Amino acid sequence: MMRGKFITYWYQLIFISSICQFLFASVAHSEGNTIRYQTKEEDAPGTVIGNLAKDMSLSLSRSSKSNFRMMKQFNDSFIRVRESDGELAVGERIDRERICRHTPQCLITFDVVNFSKDRYKLIHVEVEVKDTNDNSPEFPNKESVVEISENAAVGSRIPLDPAVDADVGSNYIQSYQISVNSHFTIDVLQRADGVKYAELVLMKELDRETQSSYTVELVATDGGNPHRSGSTKITIKVTDFNDNSPVFDQNSFSVSLPEDAPTGTVILDLNAVDADEGSNGEVVYGFGKQVSNEIRELFQVDNKSGRLTLRSPVDFEDKSTYELDVQATDLGPNPTPAVCKIIIHVTDVNDNAPEISITPMTSISTGVAYISEAADKDSLVALISTMDRDSGENSQVHCTLFGHDHFKLRQAYEDSYMIVTAAALDRERISEYNLTVMAEDFGSPPLRRITQYTIRLSDENDNAPHFTQAVYEVSVVENNAPGAYITTVEASDADLDNNGKITYRLVDSVIMGSPMNTFVSLNSVSGSIYALRSFNYEVMKHLDIHIQATDGGSPQLQSATVIRLKIVDQNDNQPSIIEPPLYKGSAEVLLPKDAPAGYVVTQIKATDADEGTNAQLSYKITEGGHLGFSINKETGKVHVSRQLTYDLTDNVKVTVSVSDNGLPALTSTAIIHLSFIEGTLPSLPSFSQNGSEELFEWDMSIAIIIVLAGSCSLLLLAIILITTICSRRKKETKERGYGKETVRPITIWKGNSFTTISARDPHISGKDSGKGDSDFNDSDSDISGDVHKKESPPINSLWACTSECKVLGHSDRCWSPSATRPNMSLACGPHLSMFSKTASLPRDTRRENYYPAHITKTNGLQSVYEQVQHQELDYILVGPPTPNLLNFPDCLPAYQLSKKCGSVCFQATARHI
């Protein structure tokens, strides 16, 4: 179309300050529509041209302020589009002659995008600017002079300078008139380029001698309403006769000239001949007076040769046709020139590469289009307008898009394309696309234009904050200070600005009846967590803290994580003794005074509120362990560690400590008061069922224990043998006829001899005097586990073997097992004794209070010593008055065994023997 050849295009980029997300709604393929309007040039700004919404029956979206968007192209802002309803109005005064020059049809074209719900429609708008007769015809000169020979034939023509009128159509020059005269008239013609001009025509022969000059007025009138006109004054001079004039080979020529022809190209070789001789026949060439300065700048004719050449490059896109007159004149007086009309047609050459203009839908910087990452497929990103100033195939342009398959081109109209999305976009994966737009014409060879264009994705809040873990394991030691730092959680958000700005908060929850925010505090910006109170492991072992991270987008997105806070136990609780029940740190435990070694006195039971190693308890006797008791450090069972020799009135105090395994260890103590009772043992000594529990705390090796146990077994057999022999002799004595039972004399060992006393004498004591002859474990050297000795209760039954020990002259404190003990393990049993038991002798009150003697003993025999040194038994001897060694021959083996077992009774026997 010719309209594009003379349009001056003005380039302008529109900067859109705000990104409207709805501009990128998902659409199906939308067919374009073309609508045409007309407006007059010189209309005042604001003059309404039309309304797209009404004229195309388009529905408006009430939810959006913008329904129409003008896409600027190769034009200035002559037209404005109201975004709300698509009203078109004059933006600035339009001068048709400036933007379209002599083009018959002047069009301003642009595209408008209409948005409706989830679709868009591209509207191609063409506004024709109608010409207004605002320009009058004008001649190049107000006055001009032409010459004509007096012998010129009637009908001779002289071309005149044409008038110029910037208007077109009916507003252009329609006619020429010449003032009334007797010899001349005019003929109105039209050049190849459409310009109308007049030629002066001779109507009557001239006579120079009669009149040498004529003056006429030439008027040019246009067809406007009202019409306008312009005039020039022409002086016609009549020259003297020159009988021959030059003659051209042809009176007119039409030639073609490629627009890329170089300067100096020969266009035409003109030739004119004059029949005269001499100077009258010498011909020179030149442009006619009516040839414009524009032509004189582009072309030149050689004065002598008549060769027409190109003086300056021509441009088809500026003007495609030139018409000029070349005159041939001889050098004689009063020459009459010959005129040759030359029409030069400039042919188009593909010398213009296509031009590209890209108008983005949204942009805040030149050369960059913005589109939301949430835009769906086929969303409009930018409009590409192309233009090629060439004509024909040379002006036809094809566009191609390179760079990424997420975008594609779609042709909108003949010379415009749309960049649309071809796939879903993700700014977090690709935030910017550098695309290449190539426009190529169909000329030969084709010319192309390449433009780089950037598309940046605007961020949408499509990413929720992300924690690296769904559950975090964090530990804090109990008894922490309030305000102590616990940990910091951190979430990331791939979005930008407010969409990626994260704030943290505690999820409301109730723990043990209290809100979570009373236990910990959370910095909403940094995510740091602090304790608001001191944690107690014994009250709370763990705490689940739910934290929510929220971004600043709209709508907001959020995610959550759990901080599993583990309270780490500290050794902050002492063991608590629960058995036996304590009163002011003490407990009283009853113990049969005849309890054997291994007997379980009691079991200390304790608890510790801590856990793990902090609650691993061990038991220990800290005071009183030498009194005949031991404790299992793991179970807390208190055992009798040796044979006890305490009276019923004795009270033994043992201090037991319970320690945990913490660092540092915490300890609780209890004082166990042991009171002795008379009676039958409730059960056998308690031993561990699994063999892992220790009965004693041994100080020597197990091998020594086994040897001592075997020795004691041999001692037991010897005692049984002696008892059997003694009983037999007693029976034989009775059979010899002791008759009725009378008060028999009592023979006791006194010092180193026997003394016979009466059994009825209440003042006689079976105890020794305690003066000088005391030996180990006699009444003078008795050892007790208590500092203050109490009066012993009456003894109901005593074994004769204990009296036997007395007969041997030793202490009155000999050990004797209980009569109810089913299995005898020491000296003798009730059915083996050869002595009879009588009443107890009065106790020596001087010995009620005493301190125990400190006797060094070997470890192996310690338990045996301790078993016998705490019994307080008074016995009398009923038997023959004169004991001697021969009376106890069977006791010798027992004496020998007593050295190994440490029996006080037999040691004493050996000493006195």
Q: Does 34-130 match 576-677 in CATH topology?
A: yes
| pLDDT, averaged across the chain | 76
Cis peptide before 555 (omega within 30 of 0): yes
Structure tokens at 12: 């302008």
List the CATH code of the domain at 466-568.
2.60.40.60
Tallying the residues shown for the chain, one arrives at 913
441-466 per-position pLDDT tens digit: 999 899 999 999 999 999 999 999 99
pLDDT above 60 (res 237) = yes
Number of other residues whose CB lies within 10 A of the CB of residue 458: 18
Give the pLDDT band of residue 736 (cuts 50, 70, 90).
Answer: low
Q: Hey, which bits of 243-379 come out as E strands?
A: 247-248, 252-258, 266-269, 272-273, 283-287, 299-301, 307-310, 321-330, 338-347, 355-360, 368-372
Closest CA to 818 of 648, 653, 624, 602: 648
The architecture of the domain spanning 143-239 is Sandwich (2.60)
CATH superfamily of 34-130: Cadherins (2.60.40.60)
Instruction: Classify each residue of 486-525 as buried b or exposed e, where b means 16 or more C-beta atoms within 10 Å of its C-beta.
Output: bbebebebbbbeebbebbbebeeeeeeeeebeebbbbeee
Extended strands (E) in 730-865: 745-750, 753-758
CATH of domain 576-677: 2.60.40.60
Fold (CATH) for 355-458: Immunoglobulin-like (2.60.40)
Please name which of 305, 303, 316 lies closest in space to residue 348, comparing C-alpha atoms: 316
| pTM exceeds 0.75 for this model | no
Q: Tell me the pLDDT tens digit for each residue of 366-401.
A: 889 999 999 988 889 999 989 888 888 898 999 999
Phi, psi of 848 (to 5 degrees): -65, -35
Mean pLDDT, range 231-256, rounded to an integer: 86
- The more confidently predicted of residues 883 and 596 is 596
Neighbouring residues of 410: CB distance < 8 A, sequence distance ≥ 6:
29, 417, 418, 420
Taking a C-beta distance cutoff of 8 angstroms, is the pair 142, 109 a contact?
no
- Choose the CATH number for 247-347 among 2.60.40.60, 3.40.109.10, 1.10.3720.10, 1.10.1040.10: 2.60.40.60
User: What pLDDT score was predicted for residue 682?
Assistant: 52
The answer to whether the beta carbons of residues 218 and 198 sit under 8 Å apart is yes
Cβ atoms of 551 and 571 within 8 Å: the answer is no
- Looking at residue 162, the DSSP 8-state letter turns out to be P
For the chain, the domains span 34-130, 143-239, 247-347, 355-458, 466-568, 576-677
Q: What is the pLDDT of residue 631?
A: 94
- The β-bridge relationship of strands 397-402 and 355-360 is unpaired
Distances (CA, A) of 546 to 229, 414, 510, 551, 674: 92, 62, 11, 17, 57
The two three-digit tokens of residue 813, written as one number: 């404190």
pLDDT band at 17 (very low <50, low <70, confident <90, very high): very low
- Specify which residues 387 forms β-bridges with: 355
- pLDDT confidence of 802, banded at 50, 70, 90? very low
| Number of alpha helices (DSSP H) and beta strands (DSSP E) in the chain | 8, 53
Residue 647 — very low, low, confident or very high, per pLDDT cuts 50/70/90?
confident
Q: Tokens for 31, please give them.
A: 């067919």
Q: What is the mean pLDDT of residues 176-185?
A: 92
pLDDT over 80 (residue 897): no
